[in-house]
Structure 1
Amino acid sequence: MKTSIDNNARVSDIMTCALSRLLKDGENVFHGVSSHMPMVAIALAKATHGPNIVHLNIPGGVNPKSIKDAEYSSAGQELFKGSEAVLPLSEVFDLSMRGKLDVAFLSGVQFDVSGNVNASVIGDYNKPKVRLPGGAGSAVLIPTAKKAIIWRTKHDKRTFVEKVDFVTTRGNLWKIVTPLCVFEFKNGSLKLDSIHPTSSLEEVIENTEFKVVYDEVKYTPMPSEEELKALKRIDPYDLRSK
C-alpha cells in the first residue's frame, strides 16, 4: 500500500481529514482513550469548518485549550488543564443516553457486515484465544450516541470479518474509517462509501472477509492545503500517526 501521494499527504493525514469532515459545527463530540487521531480530527474541525464544536474527552475537559502536548493515552491532564469547563465521564454517558451526544469516536477489534463490534474475545468466549479489554464505554455510547464513528488503523480479514466472534455492542454505527477506505452502515449492513487515493478497490476487497458492496466507486477527497497547514500547527508532534 502506498503511504503518500503527490502533495505529501500520508495515510494518517487522509484518515484524520476524513474523520474531521464528518463533524458539523455545533456538535457535541467525544473521543475515548488511546484516540490521538480522533482528538486531532476534532481540533482540525474546530480550526477549519466547525468552530462551535464541543470537544469532550476522558479526563473531563470541555474544549481543551491545546492538544499539542497530550500524553500517549490521549486521556491525560493536558486535556483537562485550561479547558473551558468540566464534564466528567459519567456525565458524558448521561448526555449520550439523553440523546444529546452527537458524535462518539470509538473503535474495536472485529467488525462484521451486520455492524456488530467485538472488543471482548477472539475465539470461543469461555476458552478464548485472546481476551480483549471489553466494551467499556463503547457498549453504552455506540447504541446511544446519535452517530458512532469507528476508526481503526488496521484493515485486514481478521478485522473485517463475516461474523464477529463475540458481539460486544451494536447500534448507531455510521461510518468506519480505516487506512484503506471509509465504510458506511446503511440499511442494516456495511457498504463501501469511499476508497482512499492511496488504496484501490482491489486492495479493499482483498483485505475484507465479507463481500464488499458499493453503489458506486468513490474516492476519499485528498487533504486540502488549508487542512495540511492546520494539521502542522495543531499537531506539530504528529500525534495523529501514533
Structure 2
Amino acid sequence: MDQEKLKIDTMICVMARLINNRETVFHGVSSHMPMIAIKLAQATHAPDLYHLNIPGGVNPEMRKVSSYSTAGYELYDHSRSQFPLADVFDLSMRGKLDVAFLSGVQFDQEGHVNASVIGDYHRPKVRLPGGAGSAVLIPTVKRALIWRTKHDTRTFVKQVDFVTTKGNIDRIITPLCVFCFRDGKLKLESIHQTSSSEEVVANTGFEIEVDGVAITPDPSREELAFLQKVDPKGYRYIEL
C-alpha cells in the first residue's frame, strides 16, 4: 500500500478505536476521515453508538450514501432518526455529548487551538474560518478528538498566534503520531509505524518526551477490508 494512504488509514483506525460502544459521537463539516472512523467503530466494536452530524441525521445508512459529503442531505434522508444541529450544542453544554471530532490549524503544548488567524489578530498574515462549532464544543464535550493531516512546526507550535478555544481535548491524531492531553499538557502517546521518533521531534515545535513511547498498531486486515468496502472510491484520501 502507498505509504501516504497507509498514514490516513492508520489515523482513521486510531480514531475508530477511541470510540466506545453506546457513546454519542458528532463530526462537523469536511470530516470524511472521522465520518468513516465512526462507521468503522460502528461495524466492529461499537455497534450501539449514536452518530450525529451537521445535517441532523442519526446513524445514517452509509450504503445509501453515494457522495460522502459530510454535510449533505443524504446524511439526513437516509438516517434512522433526526437530531438537529442546534440540539447537538445544547446536548454538549448539558454534558451529554461523549465525543466530538474537530480540528484546527495551530496547537500548542498547553492545548490551545487556533482556527482564527495566523499572525497578529488585527493585521493577520492569514485570516482563518474561526471557531464556529469548535469554540463551543471543545470546552463542553466530554472528549474532543482532534485530527490534523498536517504535522509540522507551523502546526504544532510553542505558542499559538490566537487562542480560538481550549478545553476537553483527549487526543490529537496526525499522520505521524498520537498526542494525548494529560496533566495540562500534550504528551506523545504513540508513534505510527510509518514514522519515527526523529521525524516526530523534527516536526513538532515544542519539546516532547519520546523515551518509552508506544508504537501505534497498523490497521488490521479486517479494518482495511472494511475501509475498502465502505469507501471504495477513496474519499478518505481527499486531504492528501
Q: TM class, shorter-chain normalised?
A: over 0.9
Q: Is the contact made by 2:197 and 2:210 (CA closer than 8 Å) also made in structure 1?
A: no
Q: Give, in whole Å, the separation in 1 of the partners of 2:236 and 2:68.
A: 11
Which of these residues, 7, 13, 22, is aligned with residue 11 of structure 1?
Answer: 7
Counterpart in the other structure of 2:199: 203
Offset of residue 230 of structure 1: 1.0
Q: Give, in whole Å, the separation in 1 of the partners of 2:175 and 2:135.
A: 24
Q: Is the contact made by 2:108 and 2:156 (CA closer than 8 Å) also made in structure 1?
A: yes
Q: Is the contact made by 2:65 and 2:78 (CA closer than 8 Å) also made in structure 1?
A: no
Counterpart in the other structure of 2:61: 65
Q: Is the contact made by 2:158 and 2:206 (CA closer than 8 Å) also made in structure 1?
A: yes
Find the residue that maps to 1:148 and give its secondary structure. strand
Task: Look up the equivalent residue of 1:131 and give its one-letter code.
Answer: R
Find the residue that maps to 1:160 and give its secondary structure. coil
Q: Give, in whole Å, the separation in 1 of the partners of 2:45 and 2:34.
A: 16
Offset of residue 233 of structure 1: 1.3
Q: Is the contact made by 2:176 and 2:191 (CA closer than 8 Å) also made in structure 1?
A: yes
Offset of residue 3 of structure 1: 4.9
* 1:3-82 matches, cutoff 5 A: 3-4=2-3, 10-66=6-62, 69=65, 71=67, 73-82=69-78
Find the residue that maps to 1:161 and give its secondary structure. coil
Structure 1 or 2: more helix by fraction: 2
Find the residue that maps to 2:30 and give its secondary structure. coil
Q: Is the contact made by 1:67 and 1:79 (CA closer than 8 Å) also made in structure 2?
A: no
Correspondence 1:217 to 2:227: no
RMSD: 1.6
Offset of residue 69 of structure 1: 3.8
Does 229-238 or 21-30 show the bigger shift?
Answer: 229-238
Q: Is the contact made by 2:15 and 2:173 (CA closer than 8 Å) also made in structure 1?
A: yes
Offset of residue 214 of structure 1: 4.5
Offset of residue 215 of structure 1: 6.1
Counterpart in the other structure of 1:111: 107
Which of these residues, 182, 187, 209, is aligned with residue 186 of structure 1?
Answer: 182
Find the residue that maps to 2:207 and give its secondary structure. coil
1:67 and 1:92, CA in 2 relative to 1: closer, same or farther beyond 3 A? farther
Counterpart in the other structure of 1:87: 83
Offset of residue 174 of structure 1: 0.4
Task: Look up the equivalent residue of 1:4 and give its one-letter code.
Answer: Q
Q: Is the contact made by 2:64 and 2:78 (CA closer than 8 Å) also made in structure 1?
A: no
Q: Give, in whole Å, the separation in 2 of the partners of 1:197 and 1:153.
A: 16
Normalised by the size of structure 1, how large is the TM-score?
0.95
1:215 and 1:28, CA in 2 relative to 1: closer, same or farther beyond 3 A? farther
Correspondence 1:168 to 2:164: yes
5+ residue gaps, structure 2, are none
5+ residue gaps, structure 1, are none
Offset of residue 68 of structure 1: 6.7
Counterpart in the other structure of 2:136: 140
Task: Look up the equivalent residue of 1:45 and give its one-letter code.
Answer: A
Q: Is the contact made by 1:35 and 1:74 (CA closer than 8 Å) also made in structure 2?
A: yes
Q: Which has the higher contact order (CA 8 A, sep 6+)?
A: 1
Counterpart in the other structure of 2:236: 240
1:124-149 Cα distance to aligned partner (Å, 9 max, x none): 00100000000000000000000000
Q: Is the contact made by 1:23 and 1:50 (CA closer than 8 Å) also made in structure 2?
A: yes
Q: Give, in whole Å, the separation in 2 of the partners of 1:62 and 1:78.
A: 11
Normalised by the size of structure 2, how large is the TM-score?
0.95
Counterpart in the other structure of 2:121: 125
Q: Is the contact made by 1:59 and 1:80 (CA closer than 8 Å) also made in structure 2?
A: yes
Query: How many pairs are equivalent?
Result: 238
Offset of residue 67 of structure 1: 6.2
Q: Is the contact made by 1:40 and 1:239 (CA closer than 8 Å) also made in structure 2?
A: no
1:67 and 1:212, CA in 2 relative to 1: closer, same or farther beyond 3 A? farther
